[in-house]
Chains A and B, each alone.
Chain A
Amino acid sequence: MQLSLARQFKKPWMKTALQDKFIHGFFFFNGMLSVVILLGIFTLLLFTSFPAFNEINPIAFLTGMEWNPTSYVKEVYGIVPMLVSTFMVTLGALAIAIPLGIGTAAYLSDVASPRVREIAKPTVEILAGIPSVVIGFLGIVLVGPIIAKVFRIPNGLNAVNGSVLLAVMALPTIVSISEDALSNVPHSYNQASLALGASKWQTVVRVKIPAALSGIIAACMLGMGRAIGETMTVLMATGCAPAMPESFLGPVRTLTSSIAIELGEVAYNTTHYYALFALGLVLFVITFIINMASDIILHKFEQVNR
């Protein structure tokens, strides 16, 4: 009798303990999945771009001034024009988005009344929900013609257009994270500064923004990462001429739009195809470095404020 009772208790307990371990293991593997995917993306890009360098000199690839994979005479694979294009468009976007973004964040955290803030913050965040292809479409039908008129050029599809659109896309990221950083500055800083006779404006500029600086820098870097990796808007709005960009008012073709344009036309497993994966690898590495850096900055910032 006693034995059977003990067995009754023992058996289900054994079972649940085993089950629990099994479930723990299951969730652990599920948790590791993101690591596997990240590594998977990197390895697949690496291995698929590797065959390209049977025919292309890696140094010529990274320093070449011309990209012409479909030439009848000799195919040339040089990514410098695309790198220059990418950075032109991105820097232009940041030049617009950083002052606007920090200004908006400072307004939301320090000037706006709680009621205005309650409405204004989600409204700004609506911008993040607009699909990139819609922004690109507006670049063609709305921003393009305006730019053509203002600068008196025949065609508004150029680097400036791309910069304006990418600024719009990077803004929600910059505003949201900068605002968090500003709101997280201890209230005592604010009070101390005001007690010493500083005005509210002086407090914002000389106390709060410096105190939140690492968070703001991280926000700008995340915005930059978004701008570099954005495909559809630049594909639609920057004109996409594969030559070396001449000015901000000329057409440019970024890394992302080159992949988007050419991958559709190329046969699988040719040198050109592999070269496009090499472009993807370059893009992945650039954004990875930027994301890691902003992550480290943000992490430090959290520790300091604790």
Chain B
Amino acid sequence: MKKKDFHQMLGFVFLRACIGVVLFALAGILWDIFSKGFMVISWEFLTSMPKDGMTKGGIFPAIVGTFFVTLITAFLSIPLGMGCAIYLNEYSKKGKITRLIRMSIRNLSGVPSIVYGLFGVVLFVQMMQLDTSILSAGLTLGLMTLPWTITASEEALKSVPQSYRDGALALGATKWQSIRTNVLPYAVSGMLTGTILGLSRAAGETAPILFTGAAFYLPFLPKSLSDQFMALPYHLYIMSTQHHAIAKVRPIAYGTALVLIVLVFCMNFIAIITRYKLRKVRME
């Protein structure tokens, strides 16, 4: 064997080892959570309140809380993200302002989540006096997901052929008419799927809701948007670090982690499937 080939063999073994380690880490994570969390999951676990100082019972209020917060997040982030994407892809011309906007979006997606939390505390909790509530937490998460929503929506708009716009404009339609009738109908489902991915990340975030509304333990479900709430990721954090009997509640923590992971993956899965179907339709 030539020296060159020997080097190549060693090198490829190294590269295969790299991806092997990465896949092994992923498999380890999923195996640990699924194998230990699966035993805890039951209908009762999903639908009952925590009992006996959270050492028994279920995680129902945390599921409900995460659902409502994600809803608020969607209400803020989807329309604003779509609007921004429409501006960037349809109206903006190459220039300093457009570059400034794009730069801001990329920077926003790199701002640490705890900094969004601080921002939410000052803006929503204190200045707008929304207090620690579902609303404050949802709006904070909405701002955080905005850059992802914008990027995803823009992708969808880009995939609409230019000829659709030109056709409408040639028939005498104004810019907005062409966008409304010939662009948005083809892009809107793609925009929505992209935003689901962003929302799934928001649903799993903890740092921004730590101080904007998540509660340690509530014996009741939230009655309005200005109530505090329990959330799945925060519940997992509490159960694994703050609880007075950590070893005793470990199974509940595993169960919560499993529910959280399954929730996030399901949202991802829906988004990916829809995107796949859309692509197929477009090709035909």
Closest to B144 in A: A37
User: What does the 1/0 interface line of A199-227 toward B look like (CB < 8 Å)?
Assistant: 11110110000000000000000100110
- In A90-144, which residues have CB < 8 Å from any B CB? 99-100, 102-104, 106-108, 111, 120, 122-124, 126-127, 129-138, 140-142
Q: Which residues of B contact A149 (CB under 8 A)?
A: none
Q: Does A44 contact B (CB under 8 A)?
A: yes
CA of A292 to CA of B106 in the docked complex: distance in angstroms? 9
Q: Which of B5, B19, B177 has the most CB of A within 10 A?
A: B19
Distance in angstroms from B249 CB to nearest chain A CB is 12
B84–A205 touching, CB < 8 Å: no
Report chain B residues within 8 Å CB of A204: 11
What separation, in Å, do the CA atoms of A103 and B13 have in the docked complex?
10
CB distance from A135 to the nearest CB of B (A): 8
- When A and B form their complex, what is the total count of cross-chain residue pairs whose Cβ atoms lie within 8 Å? 259
In chain A, positions 268-286 with a C-beta closer than 8 Å to chain B are 268, 276-277, 280, 283-284
A71 within 8 A of B: no
Q: Are A133 and B253 in contact (CB under 8 A)?
A: no
**Chain A residues numbered 6-44 whose CB sits less than 8 Å from any CB in chain B:** 16-17, 19-20, 23-24, 26-28, 30-35, 37-38, 40-41, 44
9-residue interface stretch from A54-62, A188-196, A255-263: A255-263
Residue B28 interfacial (CB < 8 Å): yes
**With an 8 A cutoff between CB atoms, is A171 at the interface?**
yes
Interface check A236, CB cutoff 8 A: yes
Main SS class of interface, A = helix
> Is B174 a contact partner of A17 (Cβ separation < 8 A)?
yes
User: Is B146's CB within 8 Å of the partner chain A?
Assistant: yes
With beta carbons under 8 angstroms apart, the residue of B106, B122, B203, B207 that contacts A232 is: B207
Q: Which of B52-60, B112-120, B158-166, B181-189 contacts A (4 or more CB under 8 A)?
A: B112-120
Within 8 Å by CB of B16, from A107, A232, A259, lies: A107
A168 interface residue per 8 A CB criterion: yes
Pairwise interchain contact A260-B114, C-beta atoms closer than 8 A = yes
Q: Does more than half of chain B's interface fall in helix, strand or loop, or is it mixed?
A: helix
Cα separation A48 to B91 with both chains bound (whole Å): 36
Tell me the minimal C-beta distance from B214 to chain A in angstroms.
10
- Contact across chains for B28 and A280 when beta carbons are under 8 A apart: no
The 8 Å CB contact of A137, one of B117, B203, B205, B253, is B253
Q: How far is the CA of A175 from the CA of B206 in the complex (A)?
A: 25
- Chain A residues in 8 Å Cβ range of B25: 127, 168, 171
Interface size of B as a range: 35 or more
Q: Which residue in A103, A134, A199, A232 is a CB contact (below 8 Å) of B7? A: A199
Contact across chains for B237 and A236 when beta carbons are under 8 A apart: yes
- In the assembled complex, B88 has its CB within 8 A of some CB on chain A: yes
The reply to whether the CB of B150 lies closer than 8 angstroms to some CB of chain A is yes
| A30 near B146: Cβ-Cβ < 8 Å | no
Q: Could you tell me the distance between the alpha carbons of A28 and B116 in the complex, rounded to whole angstroms?
A: 24
Question: A37 to B108, Cβ gap below 8 A?
Answer: yes
B32 on the A face (CB < 8 A):
yes
A287 touches B110 (CB 8 A): yes
A250 contact set on B, CB distance < 8 A: none
Contact A124 B87 (CB under 8 A): no
B4 touches A199 (CB 8 A): yes
Chain A interface residue bracket vs B: 35 or more
B143 touches A141 (CB 8 A): no
- The answer to the question of A50 belonging to the interface, with a C-beta cut-off of 8 Å to chain B, is no
Q: Inside 8 A of B111's CB, which chain A residues have their CB?
A: 38, 41, 229, 284, 287-288
CB neighbours of A200 from chain B (8 A): 8
Beta-carbon contacts under 8 Å, B65-87 to A: 80, 83-84, 86-87
**Other-chain contact of A20, B112, B175, B210 (Cβ < 8 Å):** B175
Contact status A16-B177, CB under 8 Å: yes
Q: Say yes or no for B170: interface residue by CB 8 A criterion.
A: no
Decide if B224 is an interface residue (CB 8 Å cutoff): no
Q: Known contacts A129-B200, A263-B211; decide if A27 and B83 are in contact (CB<8 Å).
A: yes
Residues of A near B201 (CB, < 8 A) are 129, 131
Across the interface, B114 reaches (CB within 8 A) one of A111, A134, A280, namely A280
Are A175 and B175 in touch, CB under 8 angstroms? no
A107-B19, A199-B4 as given contacts; A134 in contact with B261, CB under 8 Å: yes
Question: Are A284's CB and B115's CB within 8 A?
Answer: yes
Chain B: CB-nearest residue to A171: B22
Complex CA–CA separation, A225 to B8 (angstroms): 34
B281 within 8 A of A: no
Indicate if B17 sits at the interface (CB-CB under 8 A). yes
Check A45 for interface membership: any CB of B closer than 8 A. yes
* Cβ of B6 to closest chain A Cβ, rounded Å: 10
CA distance A283 to B116 in the complex (A): 11
| Residue of B88, B118, B207, B264 with highest tally of chain A CB at under 10 A | B118
6 contacts between A and B (CB under 8 A): A41-B116, A111-B16, A122-B272, A129-B264, A200-B8, A231-B112
Per CB-CB distance, the 6 closest pairs between chain A and chain B, nearest first, are: A229-B112, A131-B204, A103-B18, A31-B87, A30-B83, A201-B8
